[in-house]
Structure formats: C-alpha cells, structure tokens
Chains A and B, each alone.
Chain A
Amino acid sequence: MDFIISLKEIVKIYGKGESKVVALNKVSLDICKGDYISVMGPSGSGKSTLLNIIGCMDTPTTGQYILKGRDVSKLKRRDFSQIRNKDVSFVFQSFALLNNYSVYHNVELPLCHRRMSRSQKKEIIMHYLDKLGIANLANKRPTEISGGQQQRVAIARALASDADIILADEPTGSLDQKTGQEIMELLTNINSEGKTIVIVTHDKNVASYCRRNILIVDGRIVEDNISDNISKNCSESNVSL
C-alpha cells in the first residue's frame, strides 16, 4: 500500500449528552502521494474537521489514522507538533499570518524550532519568497500587502516547512476571483512538483483544479470522483461511501 494518508472509520464527536454533535461519522479515506484533492460540502458538513484531523490539529474520537505508515492515533502530543512542523502544512482562508512580524519572519515560523543556521534558514525563506514572486515584500508586514500577496506568504510558509502534504482551508475564500485563480494556479504548480494537496472549498471553480473531488455531507463522504491517474495507480483506491 502506498497511501500517504489513510483514514479508517474516523468518528469525531463534539460535546456531550444532548449537545453532542457528530462532525464525522465513520469516514474512511485513502490519499496517495501527489494527490490533488478538493473536499466540498455544505457548511457544518465536517470538511474542516476532516482537514483538522488530517493535519493533526485535532484528534478523532474513534477510528484509525495512518500518516506515512505511522498510526497517528497512538502518537503523543509532542509527535503531533513534529508532524505539523515537518509532514503537514496549512494554508488558511484568513491567511493566519502574524501581523506583528514581517513577511520574512512569518515564513520563518516553521523553521524556528529546527536546528539549522540562520543563513540556511534565510536561503530557504528567500527561495520560496522568490518562487512565489514576493521576495520584494520580505520586510513588509502582512497588513501592508494585499490579500493575494498575503495568501502567497501563507503558501510560502507552507512550502518552507518542506512538508509533503499541504492542507488548504478555503484558500481563495477571502480573495477576489482573479487573485483566487492565481492562487489556484500556484497550488496546481506546487502539486505538479509532487506535493499532496487537500483543499476544502465551497467553490466549484476551485474544485475544478483538483483531480479528485470529494463531497462530504453530514459527516459522511457521499461522493468521490477520481479523475486522474495518481489515485488510480497509487493502488486500489479504497473509498467508503
């Protein structure tokens, strides 16, 4: 099996008693390395919860989550931090940049806790800023640049960690159509370089960039359209509907 992510019977319940909410209900999903996946669904369907669990930002109530062959459900908090630092990175709708820090320092965040020299860090940061065409903004603060540029900074930060998996939660949600397209093209390029990307979105146009589209309703996966060879060839893609 060559799945980079494998979710088995994942259940996530918030609250207790009468206020109990089942966000994910026995979701099973396998994702191959290099997949480009969109997760769609109405509000409250459990898309973001799924993304949070994949990104180790949240833990499932029951079920098994295997990331790169490791059973994440058995890991400790400290290992979760390391996964978020090295294996998975995020791009948020509202960019999640630290407004008190410069663009450069925002991109540096995932590298802060790694043992590498300042010059090495600088090399990595400037490489990605350059790649995303925002090297000239390195010393500016997020509040001084446009939304599209801020999202590029967020993507640069995600790339700087050199994680194999990039999780994007409504990456174009706060952007105009044109800028949104630019960002999606950027993510498509990144995917073509071998990164696995999972995007949560409401927007069908955004989903159209992806090669695999998952529809989630009431915490269950109800549709999984695979239109590329990666998932098909990865192995026998096993998706529970």
Chain B
Amino acid sequence: MYILRALVHSMSRKKVSLLLVWLQFSLIFFIAFSLVCSCINLFKNENEKRRYIKADFDKCCQMIINTVNTSKEICMDGADFLSEVKSMDEVSVLGNYFYYSTAFTSLRDNKAFVEAVEKAVDEEIRNLTKSGLRVDEGSYQDNKKDLIAQILSVDYELFDSLLPNTFLEGGMPDGSFSESDSFKPVILGYGYKDAFDIGDTFISDDEKFKCRVVGILDKGSKWFSENYGLSYDMVNIDNSIIVLTDRPDTYIGTTIEGTVLANNYLISKEPFDRELEAKIGEVAKKYGISVGIYTFNEFFANTRENFIEQYYLTLFSILFLSVIAVFGLSSLIVYGINISKREIGIRMACGAETKHIMGIFCSEIFIIIILAFFTSCIMANSERLINFLMISMKDINIWVYAAVLAISLVVCIVSCIFPIRRIAKLEPRELTGGQ
C-alpha cells in the first residue's frame, strides 16, 4: 500500500497524477511491444537468410529483375531477349523459379491428394481474408472441384544452391534427374506427404506437368515469394508441388501494360560491371525492353546492414526505455518511502529484515507494473491505436509477451533495489524519529 498511498498523496498534492504515472508505464510497455516485435522479426529474418541463402553470391551473382514499365506494348520477345542475354560469354544462368496453378482432376481417387488440395485452397482463402483482400469464394470452390494445385517450378541448380540438401526424406535426388525422361522430378510440399510415395508418378490435366516424386520437403519449408525474384520475403511451400526443371521456362508477358521479366537469376563470370550492364541494356533496347539490373549480393548486403543498424537501434531503445522506467519507478518508491519512514521503522523495530521491506515494495511495484503491462497489452492489440500511431505490431506472439513481461520484472526489481537498500541501511531509531 506504500506505493498506492504515495500516488494518492502525490495526487492530492498535485505533484504528479496517478493517471500520468499509469499512462507513462503503459506507454513505455506499449512501445516495448513494438520494439520487441521488431527485434524478434529482425532476428528471425536474419536467421532465415542464413538458413536458406546457401549459394555463393560473393562476387558475381547478378539479377535481372524488374518490371519493364516503360514498354508501351506487351513485349512478345522477352524470351528471346533473355535467351540472348544468357548466351553472352560473360553470363551464365543460375536459375529461375515460377509459380503456376494447374488442375489434377485425374487424381480424384487419391483421397490424400484431394484432402491436401482442399486444405491448401482453404488455407489460401484464410490467408487472403486475413490480409484484408476480397475473396471470390465461388472460384475457390471451383478450384477444389478441379483439384487445382500450386506448382512451384524451380531450376534445379537454383534449388540446389539456395537450399540445403537435407530437405529430402528420400535423400538426395537420384541420377534420373538429368535423364531425358518425360517425367519431371518433383519434390512434394509437406501437405502432400500422404498422397504419394517416392517414385510415384502423376500428370496434370494439361499434360504439361508429368511428375515423378523424388522427395518430400520438411514441414514449414519456405521459398521466395512470387512477388518478383528479389523479394527476400519467404513464403510457406507446404502446399506446393515443386517441379525441378533443368530447362526452365522463361516467364514473359503480363496482362497489364508492360512486360515482366521476373525471377531470372543470371550469374556473370566476371563481376557485374558497367560494360556488361550497357551490353545487356543494348540487347534490351533491341527488343524494346528496359530492364532493371541489380546485384544480388549488394542488395542483401545493404539489407543486412540496415537490419543490423535497426537491430542495435531497437536494442538501444529498449534499454533507454527501461532506464526511464527504472528512474520513474525509483522516484515513485523514494516518495513512497519518504511518507512511510515511520512505518518502515516500526516494522524494522518489530524484526523486519531488509528482504522483508524489499518484498513489500517489490510486490507493490509488481502490481503497478502488471497493471501497466496489461494496459499496454490492450493498447498493443488495439488496431485503431496502432494505425493511429503508425507503429507496426505484427506477430505479437507468446515470445513477445514473455519478453515484455521479463523486461517488466527486471524493471521492477532494478527500480526497487537501490532505494530500499538505502533506506534499510538506516537504523530504526532514525526512521522512527527517535521514538
């Protein structure tokens, strides 16, 4: 009751108001939420990159990536353009990947496959709804009927370079990969694990995908999102059928104005310099295309630097806020002690030890901290407030709560230790005013 009495006292004396103190700590924890969220997300992203980016992009991995916005007509010669670029001496192809959706109605008897497709469709609907997009439920029901599954077509070399080889349940892909087999080797996402065994074959309705299962991915495996090749966002591919190709198709043409050359990874034999860039530019001009050329490595290096900067800034901010909280609570406790010296003295005269006095104050501060913590939880989960403050608080999970609570406890203990140790060192006689 010492602290609450101090608050009430201070209110009546108009020095500080209870509301302000409450708000102070609630805001501190609220900000802590956003910082911890960012911190964890940064750490997670950094980890994912380390886990998935296995290729040696040290010097020369380049990328042609972007939308050709300036083209007035839909470019029909994009494939030729790319083919010509790939044929340059300075350039070798690393690989491509593309997402397709294809029907597999002939697999209607495969119960596990049907269930996997339906589950995948439902999940997609859920994700779209969650992200606030309007969902045409009817067409998705048709997808279920036609057993439309998502295909991720990946150049084998790219797949091999970017993912560790431990993903296959059946071990490494066998030598049949390079055989001139009409069946393309596929790796199934975890969702299809019950539908086929390794060695099974199946065919899509359009017969474009004649698949032979060579492996099954681990649960929760991820791949780059389909939004341009350079995106470092990873998406779950549990519901995808990964078709490994040694001659990937080139994805050219969109329904919108302009041409998209996406997901084409080129690797140059020499470091990508202005001369090569100009050379590719010339070829692009010939085909009426303008392209953006990015150095893969530079992109990630910059991103990593930004991440590290952001990471330390976030850590520093958390530390700074914690220090402010410690000062705030300490001053509150000092005030509480000042108006309760007599009581503390009487308690000590009756045999209370330092730890007992500490316990009383800590438990009271703990109550305030917990109340402020819950207030901040409400604030952190309030979408309107978040939007208003424009602070991103995605992915508040159990670890975020735990981390913020841990910070709260540390703040609680640290803020109590010094003032209480100081007061407890006094003689009871001094505290009771000589009584």
Contacts and interface: CB of A to CB of B under 8 A. Distances in A.
Contacts of A84: 348-351, 428
B435 A93 contact: yes
A110 B350 contact: yes
Contacts of A94: 435
B283 interface: no
Contacts of B349: 55, 57, 84, 90, 96
B427 A57 contact: yes
A110 B353 CA distance: 11
A82 B435 CA distance: 20
Nearest to B353: A81
A85 B427 contact: no
Interface string A59-92: 1000000000000000001100110111001101
A50 B324 CA distance: 45
B294 to A, nearest CB: 68
B351 A85 contact: yes
Contact of B350 (A58, A78, A85, A100): A85
Nearest to A98: B343
A98 B1 CA distance: 12
Contact of B428 (A57, A86, A89): A57
Residue from B346, B349, B429 with most neighbouring chain A CB atoms (10 Å): B349
A78 B353 contact: yes
B429 A57 contact: yes
Contacts of A59: 427
Nearest to A110: B350
Interface in B204-253: none
Residue from B350, B353, B354, B432 with most neighbouring chain A CB atoms (10 Å): B350
B53 interface: no
Interface residue range, chain A: 20 to 34
Interface in B323-355: 342-343, 346-354
Contacts of A113: 351-353, 356
Given A96-B432, A169-B435, A157 B350 contact: yes
A52 B429 contact: yes
B434 interface: yes
A98 B346 contact: yes
A100 B1 contact: yes
A97 B351 CA distance: 15
A81 B429 contact: no
A190 interface: no
A109 B435 contact: no
Interface string B395-435: 00000000000000000000000000000000111001011
B1 A82 contact: no
A109 B434 CA distance: 20
A81 B348 contact: yes
B265 to A, nearest CB: 70
A149 interface: no
Residue from B351, B352, B427, B428 with most neighbouring chain A CB atoms (10 Å): B351
A38 interface: no
Contacts of B352: 81, 85, 112-113
B427 A58 contact: yes
Contacts of A57: 349, 427-429
Contacts of A82: 351, 353
Nearest to B345: A96
A109 B350 contact: yes
Nearest to A93: B435
Residue from A85, A86, A89, A92 with most neighbouring chain B CB atoms (10 Å): A85
A109 B343 CA distance: 11
Interface in B346-368: 346-354, 356
A100 B351 CA distance: 19
Contacts of A77: 354
Contacts of A52: 429
Nearest to A82: B351
Contact of A161 (B348, B350, B429): B350
A48 interface: yes
Contacts of A81: 348, 351-354
Interface in B1-44: 1, 5
A52 B428 CA distance: 9
A48 B434 contact: yes
Residue from A55, A94, A113 with most neighbouring chain B CB atoms (10 Å): A113
A205 to B, nearest CB: 22
B356 A112 contact: yes
Contacts of A109: 346-347, 350
Return the 9 tightest CB-CB contacts between A and B, nearest first: A85-B351, A81-B353, A109-B350, A110-B350, A84-B351, A57-B428, A57-B429, A92-B435, A96-B346
Given A57-B428, A112-B352, 4 more contacts: A82-B351, A84-B428, A96-B349, A161-B351
23 contacts: A48-B434, A52-B429, A57-B349, A58-B427, A78-B353, A78-B354, A81-B351, A81-B352, A84-B349, A84-B428, A85-B350, A89-B350, A92-B432, A93-B435, A94-B435, A96-B435, A109-B347, A110-B350, A110-B351, A112-B356, A113-B353, A157-B350, A169-B435
